[in-house]
Amino acid sequence: MLTDWLIVRRVAAELDRALRGARIRDAGRLADGRFGLRVPQGTVAIDAFGPTPIVALEGPYELERTAGWIRAAAATLDGLRIDRVRARRGDRLIAIECSTRSRFGVASAYRLVAELVPRFGNVLLLKDGTIVSAAKEFGAGRNALRSIVVGDPYEPPPLPDPPRADRTLDDAVAALASSDPDPASAIRALRGEFPLLPRLVAESLVAETIRALGASPVALAERCRSRARAVIDATEGEPDGLGDVFAYRDDAGTLVQAHVLPLAQFAAFAERREPSLGALLADLVVRATHDRAREAFEQRRERLRARIEKRRAAIDAERTALESERDDDGARDVLRRAGELLYAHLTDVPPHAAAFVPPSAPDVTIVLDPALDAKANAAAIFKRYRKAVAKLDHVGRRLDEARADLAFAREIAWELERAEPETLDDVADAAKRLERRPVAPPKAAPAKQRPLDERVAPDARIYVGRSPKGNADLTFRLARPDDLWFHARETPGAHVVLHIDTARAAHDAELERAAELAAYHSKARESDNVAVDYTERKYVRRAHNAPPGLVWYTNARTRVVTPRATPAVGA
């Protein structure tokens, strides 16, 4: 959806009626990155940097006073009274004027300014016209028209220049009836004559003109001028009343455009009059914010996917090299045989010899150190042999570690594919462990993740872990020793626990359902038949020195099931 200064002006008028006299109870950053003011009516959410920059009154949200300009602005705004909300005529700018009075009766005035220009948005706090804090600061070197620096006087952005018209409005309207009509030329000509006329309104007037073609071009051009002049004249002063706004939706009911005036270019969409523009925009901004958050989530997931794959490939290459080194018995056997032959022929080795061919093995040539005698050379060769054997032990241990790392890489690659925004940090920590990078302890105790939850009987419930840490928490904190624990066999998957409140045994249908969920929440989800192991939780152990969620188990039974359906998050 597009905005213009008429839309912003209407939003400011609605906010003024809703907020005048309200006390700001808190200020800070919303979870989605927007700046917000908590007031008794809800949260004033300022989205100056989104695809549709706007200010909207939404529901109550949690606010965080992050470092930087937000902390400085929030500390000042907390407790102020909102006196007025205004918009700047001809520009997409909203100013929330606030004040406070000290215990000595000294008044202080502040102004929170939201510059709502796409790609050039900003949020600033002013006191007596001086910048106190700003989301974006820049000097004259970056912007020849103005600078935004804390401590300097505030200068609003210059009003946009009118588009350059390549013909008069009369000529442009006359050309609309030609074989090569150019509506864009007519729009430029109209806005050239009326610089304050928003593009959306100019497009509507030109669309109306095209529908009326057949009348005199001069009369059509004059009617266009008259309509444009009436729109501009009606914006003199503050709006007296707030009539209905016009909302245009597609066949799916999605808002395409809204405006204070009817827009002829959207005649193909369903038009409906609504009492509040702010309510429409609040829904739009929430949806846009959700889309941005989802896009950011997918971008972060793609970066994690590349990191995990890079590390997996490196570990796989190391495993291949280790296996080759482990299987290379020839070099060790050559050293051992050379040492044995040398000891057997100590008296046959000439002094200071650089090489020796044993009489009992004429096909073997032993390279010697001329500075050492035969016995010392034999001892040196056996020392190299023992180091080679010791290295073989190290190779075996490292090979076991590499295989475990590969299993872990497969596990977190699968976890990444099923990750949700609230569990992605968990997968990111697992990726750091895979890369042998330190995982910083959280600044505060993280909230425990609720497992997925499905009740299968009045006294029985199935739980499904949602992430590596969630699996570990479910298995080793929530589950009781005699609860049944399920996992898809030999494939990455979630931990599933069947918990029964009473002392009875699990019914076959309950076992089947838990196995179906374990199969569904595994990498084998698309298979028709999946083998699922299950055992009592007391037989499940953490893998030694392994990241959270990697376990081994004993006393398992197996069910082969078809993956089916996922439960909702538990209440």
- For residue 284, give Cα distances in angstroms to 50, 52, 58, 197, 288: 11, 9, 11, 24, 6
pLDDT of 571 higher than 50:
no
329 pLDDT band, cuts 50/70/90, is low
What CATH number was assigned to the domain covering residues 5-134? Answer: 2.30.310.10
**Top-ranked range on mean pLDDT: pick from 287-291, 460-464, 566-570:** 460-464
Q: pLDDT tens digits for 120-154?
A: 899 999 998 999 999 999 887 777 778 999 999 99
548 pLDDT band, cuts 50/70/90, is confident
- Per mean pLDDT, which range of 224-228, 419-423, 461-465, 516-520 is the poorest? 419-423
Cβ distance 537 to 484 under 8 Å?
yes
Q: How far is CA 97 from the centre of its chain?
A: 34
- For residue 181, give Cα distances in angstroms to 84, 173, 175, 206, 267: 46, 9, 6, 12, 20
Rounded to whole angstroms, the Cα distance separating 465 from 411 reads 13
Angle between helices 424-434 and 374-418 (to 10 degrees): 170
355 pLDDT band, cuts 50/70/90, is very high
Cβ distance 278 to 23 under 8 Å?
no
Summary mean pLDDT of the chain: 89
pLDDT of residue 550: 84
Angle between helices 183-193 and 217-233 (to 10 degrees): 50
Stretch 413-442: mean pLDDT: 85
Q: pLDDT tens digits for 1-25?
A: 889 999 999 999 999 999 999 999 9
- For residue 502, give Cα distances in angstroms to 286, 452, 461, 508: 45, 21, 11, 16
Stretch 332-344: mean pLDDT: 86
Stretch 449-458: mean pLDDT: 90
pLDDT of residue 328: 65
* Number of other CB atoms surrounding residue 382 within 10 Å: 17
First to last CA, the chain: 36
pLDDT of 102 higher than 80:
no
Give the start-to-end residue ranges of the domains of the chain: 5-134, 169-277, 304-439, 452-561
pLDDT of residue 455: 93
pTM (2 decimals)? 0.64
pLDDT of residue 12: 94
pLDDT of residue 496: 96
Using alpha carbons, select from 211, 88, 223, 250 the residue that is nearest to residue 158.
88
Q: pLDDT tens digits for 431-447?
A: 888 888 876 666 555 66
Coil, strand or helix at 339: helix
Rounded to whole angstroms, the Cα distance separating 176 from 172 reads 7
